[in-house]
Amino acid sequence: MKRLKWAFLLIALALVAAACGGSATTTTTTSGTSAPTEGGDTTSSVAPAMALDGVDLKLWGWSSSEAENTALSDLVGQFNTATGANAEFQPQADYDVALQSAMASGAPPDVFYIDSFKLADLADAGVLAPVPTGALSSPDDIYPSLREAFTFNGTWYCPPKDFSTLALVYDPEALQAAGVDVPTTWEELATAAAALTTGTTAEIAAGDAQAGLAMGVEYPRWGSFLFQAGAALTDEAVTKITLDTPGATDALQFIADQYQAGYFISPADVDAGWAGEAFGQAKSAMTIEGNWIIGYLQDTFPDRNFAVAELPAGPAGKGTFAFTVCYGVAADAPNPDASWAFVEYLTNPEGSLAWTNAFNVMPARASVSNDWIGSHPDLEAFVAGADYAKRWGFIPGFGDVIGVFNDNAAGLVDGSVTVAELIAAVTGAGNDVIDG
């Protein structure tokens, strides 16, 4: 039965990946473009209680940077030294396909990455083991929004390895030259974006001008404005679409107005692969991105000046997304006790801090956040978002709905779709999934 479910899941996850598309695929994971900070340390001092001498364990994840792969392998090596286990991190170039094939064949890796957006599909397919009682230390220390991201139908399936939120990344020199302060409200954001825009889209693409703000035309960015307006795509339980509200209408119209005025730009319109690249190329003075952008800028645009602030608040207050990945264990794991001991080592307070100190991703545990901020003081705005962030995840099959949103968002930007038409299209697509 599990293999049959996996055949359908293979199709579903392919649709999710296609629906997210472009920068959403690469920038909603928590460590896709990170680079090591100076002095990064991935040493964890706590060993699991059970004996693991000689036990072989495989950890699968997607391959990002060579530096990150090396750092995670180093942490896994510390686990081996502490326990006598033979664990190995094995990054997979085509991760989703590799994982699906391994699961369907009945030979899953011992531990593997799960993006929060795909948790529901995997849990619904019955291929994940829930977190056993007592397997993980201090589970209440994990930020509630992150634990909720990996909970499906009341069952908690896996602990987060780290997380990212969205924040406002800006060029302080550009703001100073334009005579504007760091925006803290929508009104201030619109004023700043207008003041910072110095030319047409064509001029910006040629590198002769800049826009106020670069942002992907996609729900994983625009959704934060919905939260700031007191709205959301669905209710908390994802039992109904809630986009047809005055708050959602106001948020979407605000965004559309900024793009149509030329103050916000789509990265694709200025020949950039994603908003981080547009900002790095100085084609925009501001962008809305996750903390993965920091390592990217440091590595690719080391001379680019930047600072970070929390996202401007809307009429209902602050809002952002929490993007996260967990360490999962298969329902038919060959050695579940050893797998969960491995996960505990990687995600307990010491392991969490050791891992995230090496990169510009954030620990999922509140108890070590102050230590992390002490090592990354310029990134505190990202951590602040954890207090009000909304999880990135829905129910099985919802990737199609996000695809409809993104398609209509592109129309909203170019003027071929109205806010009302976007809301109607997304509501219809969402109801089809929920009622199906």
Rounded to 5 degrees, φ, ψ at 113 are -70, 145
Provide the residue count of the chain: 436
* pLDDT band at residue 311 under the 50/70/90 scheme: very high
Q: How far is CA 319 from CA 38, 136, 379, in A?
A: 31, 30, 17
Please state the pTM of the whole predicted model: 0.82
* pLDDT band at residue 39 under the 50/70/90 scheme: very low
Give 408's contacts (C-beta < 8 A, 6+ positions apart). 417, 421, 422, 425, 426
Q: How far is CA 346 from CA 101, 198, 340, 343, 353, in A?
A: 25, 47, 10, 5, 9
Q: Mind listing the domains of the chain with CATH numbers?
A: 2-165+323-391 (3.40.190.10), 166-321+396-435 (3.40.190.10)
Rounded to 5 degrees, φ, ψ at 141 are -75, -20
pLDDT of residue 388: 92
Q: Which amino acid is at 399?
A: G
Q: What is the pLDDT of residues 370-408, one digit of tens each?
A: 999 998 888 899 999 988 999 898 999 999 999 999 999
Q: What is the pLDDT of residues 71-104, one digit of tens each?
A: 899 999 999 999 999 999 999 989 999 999 999 9
Contact 379, 290 (CB under 8 A): no
**Residue 223: exposed, middle, or buried by beta-carbon count in 10 A (0-12, 13-18, 19+)?**
buried
Q: Is the pLDDT of residue 415 over 80?
A: yes
Question: How many whole angstroms separate alpha carbon 234 and alpha carbon 236?
Answer: 6
Rounded to 5 degrees, φ, ψ at 295 are -60, -40
Give 154's contacts (C-beta < 8 A, 6+ positions apart). none
Measured in whole angstroms, the distance separating CA 435 from the mean position of its chain's CA atoms is 27
Q: CA angle, 356 as apex, 168 and 352 as ends, to 5°?
A: 125
Q: Is the pLDDT of residue 257 over 70?
A: yes
pLDDT of residue 282: 98
pLDDT of residue 19: 32
Q: What is the pLDDT of residues 204-213, one digit of tens each?
A: 999 999 999 9
Q: Are strands 160-170 and 321-328 parallel, antiparallel or unpaired?
A: antiparallel
Query: Residue 93 has which token pair?
Result: 């170039």
335-359 core/surface letters (b: 16 or more CB in 10 A; e: else): ebebbbbbbbbbbbbbbbbbbbbbb
Mean pLDDT calculated for residue range 163-179 = 97
Question: How many whole angstroms separate alpha carbon 368 and alpha carbon 363?
Answer: 7
